[in-house]
Amino acid sequence: MSDPRRLVPGQPPSSAPGGLPARAGRADGAAVERRIGRLLEVGTLIAIGLLAVGSVLLVLSGISPLDPEWPPLDLGELPADLLALRPEGFLWLGLLVTIGTPIMRVVAATIGFAGTGERRMVALGVGVLVVLGLAIVAGSTGA
């Protein structure tokens, strides 16, 4: 009788470390990848929508995107800008969603790797998030 865990070229192993069926790990990984893909798709569509609305409002209000008086990002003013249908609110939020979507992808992947027990990938994901966090802090303080 042969070992059921024996590797056969071209076929997946019948068992993963720890005695779990290899297919269960692959199914979990595939589900995580589908959720991450959906997250990227939805984030991209939201960003495009916000930027499109902001651009239309910009044209309708006759404001030039090259205007040196363009308001800087102020997170405290963002809700008021959106409610008042000011183009800068939609454009800034669209840019924030554009930046935040890949960051959320790293977060989702790290959580997914944690769920499948891939410690090395979790450590890499956390490392990427730490570097991104440091870059955001450095960029916002002008360091």
- Contact between residue 94 and residue 43 where contact means Cβ atoms under 8 Å apart: no
Q: Which amino acid is at 74?
A: D
- What total number of domains does the chain contain? 1
Q: What is the pTM of this model?
A: 0.71
Coil, strand, or helix at residue 115? helix
Residue 2 lies in a domain: no
Segment among 13-27, 45-59, 109-123 with least mean pLDDT? 13-27
Mean pLDDT of 125-136: 94
pLDDT for position 81? 95
Residue 111 lies in a domain: yes
Q: Which amino acid is at 128?
A: V
- Contact between residue 139 and residue 73 where contact means Cβ atoms under 8 Å apart: no
Residue 1 lies in a domain: no
pLDDT digits (tens, 9 = 90+) for 9-46: 554 544 444 444 444 455 577 888 888 999 999 999 99
Residue 88 lies in a domain: yes
- Domain span at residue 134 reads 23-141
pLDDT at 102 over 60: yes
**CA-CA distance, 106 to 111, in Å (whole number)?**
9
Neighbours of 109 (CB within 10 A): 20
pLDDT for position 73? 87
